Chain A
Amino acid sequence: MKSAIYYQTKKVTLNLLIHLFLVSVAATCLYPLLWMVASSFKTQETIFSDISLIPRQFHFENYYLAVSQSDFGRYFLNSVFYTASVAFGIVVISSMAAYAFSRLRFPGRNIIFAVFMAAMMIPIPGSFVALFVLLNKLHLRNTPLGYILCMISVGLSMSIFLLKTFFDTMPRELEDAARIDGCSKLGIWRHVALPFAKPALAVVVVFNALNVWNEYVLALVIFDNKNLMPLQRALMLFRGEFLTNYPLLMAGLTITALPIIIMYLLMQKYIVKGVASRAVFG
């Protein structure tokens, strides 16, 4: 029989090791972020010569310059609009499709699903040109709608795949109960499937939001109108052809990273909430 002290020490050491592990990984995650933020307060000359994480002088004006020099506000709003639209669109469209692939029967179901999966794996080089010509023909080229539809298309395969995997684990009793209560298929989707897959939905939102937020080349190729450009364009303005304004670039990058971190903070609650609501279903 092992004594209580043995278990106690084992528990304490285990916890200690776990914490050490977590802290060291966290440190490596934080360092580049801190470097980016610290650099945003430095000047062009000191950014590479001064290697400490705490700048000798804090140049707060870099942030002001970054925002004012580049019509930042408009690009920021554009990015928020595109990201929110795509996230919303994908959640609705891909969850409906994933639910159908997982729970509904119709001829060709497996083939269509397989095509979606295959699409995840086949990158199209030069797709920018193809999409450009396509959107041109549809008269959607220089429009927000065209861009949003393209970005939805890009994220569909992954999102459907993720959601279907989660729907597959959904207990049938839930659906049966709802059906007995007189719920239509759409109702089941809305009241049973969606809440069940909240953690997966949160992942889908984060994934697609990040994609759209960081996307640049497609926007550049499709949009002629400066007013429609997303945030990344402002950042590119600091990376001149020959001269990169590093401090302003770092300030811009920090501002760019913030909304995504905030959005993630909001979303990750749903991953936890998903557990709480499941406890109700048992």
Chain B
Amino acid sequence: MRKLFAFCLISLIIPAFFISACAVKPKSSKPTITIWHWMTDRQPAFEALAKKYEEQTGIKVNFELYAPSDAYSQKVRAAAQGKTLPDIYGLLGEKRDFASFIKSDHVADLTPFLEENNGKWRKEFFAKALAVNEFKEDNTYGVKAGFYGVPIDVMTIEMLYNKKLFKKAGLDPNNPPATWGEFLHAIQRLREVGIQGLVSGWGEIWMIDCLASNYAFNIMGEKKVLATIKGEVPYTDPDWIKVFDLFLQMRDKKVLVTGVITMVNKTAEQLFSNEKCAFAFNGSWCVNVYKGMNPVLDYGAMLPPQVSDKNPMMVWGGAASSFLVNNRSASKEQAVAFLKWLTSPEQQIYLAEATNNLPANQNALKGIPVVLAQFAEAMEYTTHPNIWGVSEFPAVIEKLDKGLQAIIIGENTPEQLAQDVQKIKAREMAKAKK
């Protein structure tokens, strides 16, 4: 027992000295901007940029990293409650939450800054990237119209294919399947030589939602999809059943890798890097990931193969990460000035090269790796739930995504799913009316 006491005392005293010593450090008198984010792989690049900015302007910028993203969200929400948010921060979550933050006075309205000088700053961004941070007139969230954040990079979510495995199955590595029929045919050829098909992190239900949404846009067009969300078209519409049926086909034709719905995105990325399968459904951030796991991976990007040619295939894309300014910050002007600097072409090119992510600034597209450029080409076809102006009820989204997972493991049918989803939708709409 005595030994235990001694051990405890010693391990208390020594660190106590260290910690109390640090607490006595005098506060820096230089102006400081604090930024919170969750992007672990970009911290070194951010710190390098912060140093550069300090040399140029004398203002110290502190990039504080809190990972993983789940824990980061908790921290931001707790700080919001305690009103201790930093000068600049990123926000993870849906448009609804974004709106709530704005209404709770945590986010500064950046419209005046963006529209200065005839919209100079605004025009530098990809319109779709900025749109994620925009609330339009008469939006359904009750937020005053304007821009409330700026993107620092963009991403698109597409399909990827392994060129080496293609060659092995006798497929042309420069001509990936463009239609659903070609896709199924390619899958069959791959299976004949023992290669598995498509992998994606479908343990995370938003990724299933993404692909389903892409095909919904392709099959019925943007207008009808938005009309469904607004409640004007039911989910039992034959077009929706066609969308759900695609997942049944994927199951029956063995398109998917075994256990795909037990995989988080990281696991899926690892599989594709290790060349265990020929296709992946992932976002442009994967370029950095694959480079780290398998630098010699020979792959290309492609749009998901079209089912219909009446409407264009649309993929999710737009702002990947954005920064917001705290409306209660004491250094609002300096914060905005820093963001302007961070999103200028020179810094964007640096970020793109250092972290292999697509820049948000349209003038920074030179000097990005080839595969990344392929992702950039898809920017024309991008859409994103955060720019539709309407949000589906979370309960409906959950039912739909879980139902698709069930179809994949053979526990549901497209028709049944359509009915289930519509039932929840009707219930939620009734609740909202009250």
A positions within 8 Å CB-CB of B: 44-45, 48-49, 74, 77-78, 80-81, 84-85, 87-88, 128-129, 132-133, 136, 141, 144, 194-195, 198, 205, 216-217, 220-221, 224, 226-228, 236-237, 239-245, 266, 270
Q: Find chain A residues with CB under 8 A from B286 CB.
A: 242
In contact, B78 and A241 (Cβ under 8 angstroms): no
Q: What 1/0 mask marks residues of chain B from 347 to 376 whose CB sits below 8 Å from any chain A CB? A: 000000000000000000000000000000
In contact, A44 and B292 (Cβ under 8 angstroms): yes
Q: In the complex, A128→B67 CA distance in Å? A: 16
**In whole Å, how far is B64's beta carbon from the nearest beta carbon of chain A?**
7
In contact, B78 and A77 (Cβ under 8 angstroms): no
Q: Find chain A residues with CB under 8 A from B288 CB.
A: 242-243
User: When A81-B12, A81-B16, A221-B75 are in contact, do A241 and B1 touch as well, CB less than 8 Å?
Assistant: no
Closest to A87 in B: B8
For chain B, the bracket of interface size reads 35 or more
**Among A44, A144, A244, contact of B19 (Cβ-Cβ < 8 Å):** A144
Q: In the complex, A129→B76 CA distance in Å? A: 10
In contact, B78 and A132 (Cβ under 8 angstroms): yes
User: When A78-B15, A81-B12, A217-B71 are in contact, do A133 and B78 touch as well, CB less than 8 Å?
Assistant: yes
Q: Find chain B residues with CB under 8 A from A198 CB.
A: 1
User: When A45-B293, A133-B82, A240-B40 are in contact, do A81 and B11 touch as well, CB less than 8 Å?
Assistant: yes
In contact, A242 and B289 (Cβ under 8 angstroms): yes
Please name 19 pairs of A and B residues whose Cβ atoms are closer than 8 Å in the assembled complex, sorted by A: A49-B274, A77-B15, A81-B16, A84-B12, A87-B8, A129-B74, A195-B1, A198-B1, A224-B64, A227-B22, A237-B40, A237-B67, A240-B67, A241-B39, A241-B68, A242-B269, A243-B288, A243-B292, A244-B266
**In whole Å, how far is B201's beta carbon from the nearest beta carbon of chain A?**
11
In contact, B1 and A44 (Cβ under 8 angstroms): no
**In whole Å, how far is A181's beta carbon from the nearest beta carbon of chain B?**
20
**In whole Å, how far is A260's beta carbon from the nearest beta carbon of chain B?**
14
Q: What 1/0 mask marks residues of chain B from 37 to 76 whose CB sits below 8 Å from any chain A CB? A: 0111100000000000000000000001111110100110
Closest to A142 in B: B84
In contact, B78 and A129 (Cβ under 8 angstroms): yes
Q: In the complex, A109→B69 CA distance in Å? A: 44
Q: Find chain A residues with CB under 8 A from B79 CB.
A: 132
Since A84-B11, A221-B71, A221-B75 are in contact, a sample of 14 more A-B pairs with Cβ atoms closer than 8 Å, ordered by chain A residue number, is: A80-B15, A81-B19, A84-B7, A85-B12, A132-B78, A217-B74, A228-B19, A236-B40, A236-B67, A236-B68, A239-B40, A242-B41, A243-B292, A245-B292
In contact, B41 and A220 (Cβ under 8 angstroms): no
**In whole Å, how far is A219's beta carbon from the nearest beta carbon of chain B?**
10
**In whole Å, how far is B320's beta carbon from the nearest beta carbon of chain A?**
10
**In whole Å, how far is A127's beta carbon from the nearest beta carbon of chain B?**
10
Q: In the complex, A155→B278 CA distance in Å? A: 49
**In whole Å, how far is A43's beta carbon from the nearest beta carbon of chain B?**
10
**In whole Å, how far is B10's beta carbon from the nearest beta carbon of chain A?**
9
In contact, A44 and B293 (Cβ under 8 angstroms): yes
Closest to B34 in A: A224
In contact, A128 and B78 (Cβ under 8 angstroms): yes
Q: Find chain A residues with CB under 8 A from B41 CB.
A: 240-243
Q: In the complex, A145→B69 CA distance in Å? A: 26
**Among B11, B19, B84, B270, contact of A136 (Cβ-Cβ < 8 Å):** B84
Q: In the complex, A136→B64 CA distance in Å? A: 20
Q: Find chain B residues with CB under 8 A from A49 CB.
A: 274
- B residues 104-119 near A (Cβ < 8 Å) are none
